[in-house]
Amino acid sequence: MNHNNTCHAFEADILQDHDAVELANLLKAKEITQEEVVLAAIKRAQKINPHLNAVELDCYDQALKQSRFSPGPGYFSGVPTFIKDNTPVLGMPTNHGSAAINSAPAEAHGPYAKQYLDQGFALLGKSTLPEFGFNATTEPAHKEPTRNPWNTDYSTGASSGGAAALVASGVVPIAHANDGGGSIRIPAACCGLIGLKPSRGRHVLSDQSKSLPINIISEGIVSRSVRDTAYFHAEAEKYYRNKKLPPIGLVEGPGKKRLRIGYVADSITGHPTDDDTRKTLEATVTLLDNLGHNVETMPLPIQPSFIEDFSLYWAMLAFLTQKTGKLIMDPSFNASKLDDLSIGLGDMYKKKFYKTPLFLYRLKKTYADYAQAFANFDAVLTPVLAQTPVKLGHISPTVPFEELFDRLMRYVSFTPLANTSGAPAISLPMSATENNLPISMQFAANHGRERVLLELAYEIEEAQPWRKIHNL
């Protein structure tokens, strides 16, 4: 299980290292049973979670009972999974990773849980996240952090950090994630997974996203194969199809068209990427060039004000949570139990609230600015993070706010644009550090063009297969 601080649950059981599609096919062919699969996943979770702290709440007994019945409809019927603990699920509390909430079990599935579970997944429980998803590491102030399976001294990223740890360590092949500033792509990057943030409105909207002045939240998954991500989104379209977006359909392999790909090495913050990240970007450019794509540098398609604008929007959400948590989150909400990051962000907004109309106007404008940039490009390549995954504690909410905020600005600078513009973007694992941590690159496309990203991801996966933690 352990090698140089790696920690995984892969073994020669019924799950092996199958992806979700392979498990679904084996279940349909009745070569394995749903009960066998669920039991194996539970055993893996029980073995590994004491080391990783990725499970917020389990429902193992219920999952086992349900597994003894005939598999229901849905392509992924019987495939084990977890749902992130900011999404209401019938019979389970939703505490948003915060000590400030102690919610009662939900009386019904939330809108997105319905769409997700309609695909037939066997739910094993809820995965961890940082308080309200505000941080880029899954280190709640009130309990143990979620640890990175590749090196347990390091962060999983966030906010879907528990989901990423459970998939990367082999507990389940696929897990729910959502993304308001990078929360699918960042943990996917830190844990060596595929993380696609789909276009705004691609899936059913959560109640939370409906209330936002600018909906920056997209729902999705993290997975170990491009195939799982492609099949998941194709199946999700069968439940809900946004007619304002071109359909993705089922993507089953690389595209034939050679793409014009722009790349950006350094973020708009002015902080250069670290050496390992830059070398990985350069190696990715070389790989794309060898595959026949036309790759060239390009300017970032955003205004210099974007970083401050997004930071203030982020701070505004923390402020609104602080002031209206009982109404928008849960009646049990207790603001006195918020962590220092949430409080610091709220205080930052109070000092600059007068800028609200201006930053909202400029953020809404990023949709058009972003679309214009794709007049000349099919995709844009950037790092996911400006630095390789950080050690636990580096961006913990216990770090003094001013120092923490500066560290976050240096770390997370490439992902938020896709959220405000509403465009799709995918994280792909491209290399590794000397201490075994994944280094990932981000590919973004124009609105509704997830198919371009999935075809490109298939091609890269074929040309340079992803590392496997259990083969180290």
Which amino acids are annotated catalytic?
Answer: 84, 159, 183
Look at residue 398 and give its three-state secondary structure.
coil
E strand residue ranges, 270-352: 294-297
Amino acid at the residue 443: F
Task: Give the whole-angstrom CA distance, residue 450 versus residue 462.
Answer: 18
DSSP 25-39: HHHHTTSS-HHHHHH
Q: What are the residues whose beta carbons fall under 8 Å from the beta carbon of 60, sequence distance 6 or more?
A: 42, 45, 46, 124, 125
- Cα separation, 417 vs 229, whole angstroms: 22
Contacting residues for 370 by C-beta, under 8 A, at least 6 apart: 301, 302, 417, 421, 423, 446, 447
Q: How many CB atoms lie within 10 A of CB 142?
A: 12
Sheet holding 80-84, edge to edge: 55-58, 122-127, 80-84
| Distance from the Cα of residue 163 to its chain's centroid | 8
Which two three-digit tokens encode residue 118?
């309609």
- Sign of the alpha-carbon dihedral angle for 319, 320, 324, 328: negative
- Inter-residue contact 452 to 196 (CB < 8 Å): no
DSSP 192: T
Amino acid in position 156: T
Structure tokens at 222: 């993290």
Cβ density class 71-88: b for 16+ within 10 Å, e for less: beebbbbbbbbbbbbbbb
Please spell the DSSP secondary structure of 72-120, one letter per residue: -SSTTTT-EEEEETTS-BBTB---TT-TT--PPPBSS--HHHHHHHTT-
Q: Which of 133, 181, 201 is nearest to 414 (CA)?
A: 181
SS3 annotation, 369-383: HHHHHCCCCCEEEEE
Cα–Cα distance measured from residue 147 to residue 398, given in angstroms and rounded to the nearest whole number: 17
